[in-house]
Structure 1
């Protein structure tokens, strides 16, 4: 096995003897390495074969900017989830859950914790995944000495649910897909831009929309009064993005006969800002 591309000191893209391309991780595995150098098997902690379905660009961008210990803890949680559920999970969970855990830790360190409005429903309908989420919080605390809330256990559970969805068994799937596409189209036409579907911000936005639509189906409302000052600041800073969120709200109201709360509009505004990267 030899180095094809160096992502950082701890992550490289390699080729094995059969010319299979894979992402290889391990502490110091890329340190002082050059293209074509051999990789010591003893240094490999984890490897992922890059298949046709795998979006290499998203994963590379993610791994470039995330500490190795965050990647390791996400991998430990995913391994635990697979064993606990006794099922395979979508390979995409490594991308989405690693990104979420890293972002959750950053928010915690900045004193910004998000309430999980679906927590009661998650406990009720996805109890097994929620228990895995609680174990994930314990793993993060033990490995990184960071204590995340029960709300985050719920968010992690939703990522596991999303990775475990059997498209043939889940109701509303086709309608959810249509809703997501229509909301993306609203954003595209509002800003007259093409959205980079290979970017991490696109992945984050689609994940947010899935959870957002789940809230619409279950009629769960955020309505977090504690964030009022934060919401006013976002509205003032991101005027065009907030206007776009209002258009999405009108669309949702026509489909669900429900007017979005200000909290939902603000979260949409933040994601729209990220996905369009407007100045």
Structure 2
């Protein structure tokens, strides 16, 4: 391998046998080396083959300023995630997860925590990704001696979910967007209102909606775990929101032949109730 560009002492850009640009990592791999020098293959710990040129450029910018241990940690977590999750993970995870873990560790060292407003949804609807997130914060604790809260496990899970949904083809993305808008319109018309689409409450609602619609379109319905007594309590407390959900359920059944589970009805009811209440 011949060095095309040195990013730091541990990461360089080179080319494979087919002249495709790749990024290779190894401790001290570029120490006292320059463009044109040869790299012994036995010193290479990791090869990044990023097909998207935009992702490749973003990754180059990121790794140029990061200590090698962050990249090693990220690689370990991503390989573990790929073994645990069934859906393919987009290469953008190398950027989003590495950058997030670096920021989370630096925040923790300064005693700064960030609340994850979607943790409830993430735990409930993406348990596999959340377990990877828990493994991540355990590993960070072992390596750096910092205790990250469950909120960070949720953030890691969210990056994994996003990296999986980015693999959907454009047709699925269009269907996802259209269905989300149809449901939002039902809520608007039912309550005869509009929403501040820049608010955190609308963001929470649409994120939950994205998770729900994505599962619906992929025909991976969430297994019911809610007992009828709890659903009845939610129905009574948030009567109007529940009636709105029944209209959404009827619409989905008619257009997509999809029957919402009790769990899905309950959680969507709670999210709509919160959104409408905060919108007043």
TM-score range, shorter chain: 0.5 to 0.7
What residue number does 2:20 align with? 20
What residue number does 1:217 align with? 206
Aligned length: 195
What residue number does 2:131 align with? 131
Give TM-score scaled by structure 1 length: 0.62
Distance 1:52 1:157, change over 3 A: closer
Distance 1:55 1:219, change over 3 A: closer
Distance 1:258 1:66, change over 3 A: farther
* Cα distance in 2 between the residues matched to 1:20 and 1:170: 29
Say whether the 8 Å CA contact 2:121–2:208 is kept in structure 1: no
Secondary structure of the residue aligned to 1:113 is: coil
Work out which of the two has the higher radius of gyration on C-alpha atoms and give 1 or 2: 2
Say whether the 8 Å CA contact 1:133–1:153 is kept in structure 2: yes
* Structure 1 residues 111-260: aligned runs within 5 Å: 111-165=111-165, 167=168, 173-174=176-177, 215-217=204-206
Give TM-score scaled by structure 2 length: 0.62
CA root-mean-square deviation:
3.0
* Cα distance in 2 between the residues matched to 1:99 and 1:15: 25
What residue number does 2:240 align with? none
What residue number does 2:42 align with? 42
* Cα distance in 1 between the residues matched to 2:6 and 2:117: 41
Say whether the 8 Å CA contact 1:3–1:34 is kept in structure 2: yes
Deviations 1:142-186 (A, max 9, x none): 2332221111000000001111115366797426999xxxxxxxx
What residue number does 2:67 align with? 67
Secondary structure of the residue aligned to 2:162 is: helix
Give the gaps of 5 or more residues in structure 1: 179-208, 221-255, 262-279
Structure 1 residues 49-58 or 26-35, which shifts more? 49-58
What residue number does 2:2 align with? 2
What residue number does 2:97 align with? 97
Say whether the 8 Å CA contact 1:108–1:148 is kept in structure 2: yes
Q: CA deviation at 1:16?
A: 2.6
Q: CA deviation at 1:43?
A: 1.3
Give the gaps of 5 or more residues in structure 2: 182-197, 210-274
Deviations 1:245-271 (A, max 9, x none): xxxxxxxxxxx868679xxxxxxxxxx
